């Protein structure tokens, strides 16, 4: 497992992208099917307005952090999360343009995005992703209501919020940061999408865990080899104090927009072959063997999707703050 010295990590600059690409008149938004737009509306126009809620002034003191931590985890799972862990509210897990808050912990949870395990891009995948993101946002808001009812302030950290979700997920023990830039775990491979809620409540911290990912990424080059944007570095960099591989966002993003969310790196990751999605990965492994090159694999995926991506109007947001390298 990669050893991260948290004391050396600098806060990372983020960027406000969601409002631009999800504005009601943006081409990214209007080309989505209505079912997807409905979920975007629920997430962006309704749930994000409930990020922070009034706190009960009659606070319940926590005598047993283990008991309340277990209660919160059970709630997250009942609300639909597939995994949940607790991280310290560490500056390293927050974007630098937001002020640090007096929170103590970040509850990080994940849901499987099944299409990360399939060799498929297109409207079905887009719809499921919008649904998964809405459900994650909903879990964050619901948990935060409960924290508020116990008398503890919190903030639901939706996608595009103040928290760098993959780093928070790593700190909560949900997986390790793989070469493809996001969380990978033994059980779920690269299929987890994350949500979080920061809280004043002194929950019991899980902390980072060894999932055997860093060891495999040292010698595996599959995501680097098949990334159509050549956006995944084969070598580690010092990323604001974190020794990690880096995704070049400006190189990735044209494919992300063009293909309704590219995710080829996640589909080809061989951790899928060891995860609960190993049956689905067999099809991907056969396609990789047949295609051999990133161009041939992309052609195969596009052909399977039945969508003429070249005819779609593709907006790309092209401003990045200094020091910005990777989003997820």
**Binding positions for ligand SF4, rule: CB under 6 A:** 178-180, 184, 216-217, 220, 222-223, 227-229, 231-232, 247, 252, 255-256, 262-265, 269-271
Name the minimum Å distance from CB 211 to ligand SF4: 11
Decide if 262 contacts 294 (C-beta within 8 A).
no
Which residues, in sequence order, are CB contacts of 78 under 8 Å at separation 6+?
A: none
Decide if 252 contacts 233 (C-beta within 8 A).
no
Name the minimum Å distance from CB 244 to ligand SF4: 11
For ligand SF4, give the closer residue by CB, 153 or 269: 269
How wide is the angle at C-alpha 143 spanned by C-alphas 138 and 146, nearest 5°? 135
For ligand SF4, give the closer residue by CB, 150 or 239: 239
For ligand SF4, give the closer residue by CB, 65 or 270: 270
Instruction: State how far the Cα of 211 lies from the Cα of 187, in Å rounded to an integer.
Output: 9
φ, ψ of residue 194 to 5 degrees: the values are: -110, 150
Give the DSSP H or E segment for 129: helix 123-149
For ligand SF4, give the closer residue by CB, 37 or 236: 236
Name the minimum Å distance from CB 216 to ligand SF4: 5
Decide if 125 contacts 260 (C-beta within 8 A).
yes
Decide if 110 contacts 188 (C-beta within 8 A).
yes
Name the minimum Å distance from CB 202 to ligand SF4: 34
For ligand SF4, give the closer residue by CB, 271 or 277: 271
Instruction: State how far the Cα of 47 lies from the Cα of 156, in Å rounded to an integer.
Output: 9
For ligand SF4, give the closer residue by CB, 165 or 252: 252
Name the minimum Å distance from CB 69 to ligand SF4: 30
Name the minimum Å distance from CB 171 to ligand SF4: 19
Cα-Cα-Cα-Cα dihedral sign, residues 52, 141, 109, 153: positive
Name the minimum Å distance from CB 65 to ligand SF4: 34
Identify the residue whose tokens are 């010698």: 219
The DSSP code for 163 is: B
Instruction: State how far the Cα of 260 lies from the Cα of 309, in Å rounded to an integer.
Output: 9
3: nearest Cα among 149, 185, 170, 250: 170
For ligand SF4, give the closer residue by CB, 77 or 256: 256
């Amino acid at each position: 497992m990669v050893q991260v010295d948290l004391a050396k990590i600098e806060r990372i600059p983020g960027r406000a992208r969601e409002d631009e690409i999800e504005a009601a008149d943006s081409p990214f938004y209007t080309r989505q099917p209505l079912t997807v737009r409905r979920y975007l509306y629920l997430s962006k126009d309704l749930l994000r307005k409930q990020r922070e809620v009034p706190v009960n002034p009659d606070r319940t003191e926590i005598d047993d952090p283990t008991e309340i931590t277990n209660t919160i985890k059970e709630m997250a799972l009942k609300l639909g999360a597939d995994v949940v862990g607790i991280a310290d509210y560490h500056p390293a897990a927050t974007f630098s343009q937001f002020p640090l808050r007096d929170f103590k912990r970040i509850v990080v949870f994940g849901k499987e995005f099944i299409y990360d395990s399939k060799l498929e891009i297109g409207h079905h995948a887009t719809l499921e992703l919008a649904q998964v993101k809405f459900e994650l946002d909903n879990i964050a808001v619901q948990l935060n209501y409960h924290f508020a009812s116990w008398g503890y302030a919190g903030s639901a950290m939706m996608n595009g919020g103040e928290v760098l979700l993959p780093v928070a997920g790593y700190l909560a023990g949900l997986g390790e940061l793989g070469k493809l830039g996001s969380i990978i775990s033994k059980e779920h491979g690269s299929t987890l999408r994350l949500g979080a809620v920061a809280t004043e409540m002194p929950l019991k911290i899980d902390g980072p865990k060894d999932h055997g990912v860093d060891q495999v990424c040292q010698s595996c080059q599959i995501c680097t080899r098949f990334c159509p944007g050549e956006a995944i570095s084969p070598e580690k960099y010092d990323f604001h104090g974190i020794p990690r591989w880096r995704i070049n966002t400006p190189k990735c993003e044209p494919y992300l927009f063009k293909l309704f969310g590219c995710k080829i790196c996640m589909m080809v990751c061989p951790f899928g072959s060891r995860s609960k999605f190993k049956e689905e990965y067999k099809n991907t492994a056969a396609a990789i063997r047949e295609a051999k090159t990133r161009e041939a694999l992309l052609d195969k995926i596009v052909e399977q999707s039945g969508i003429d991506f070249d005819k779609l109007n593709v907006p790309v947001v092209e401003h990045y703050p200094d020091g910005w390298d990777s989003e997820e």
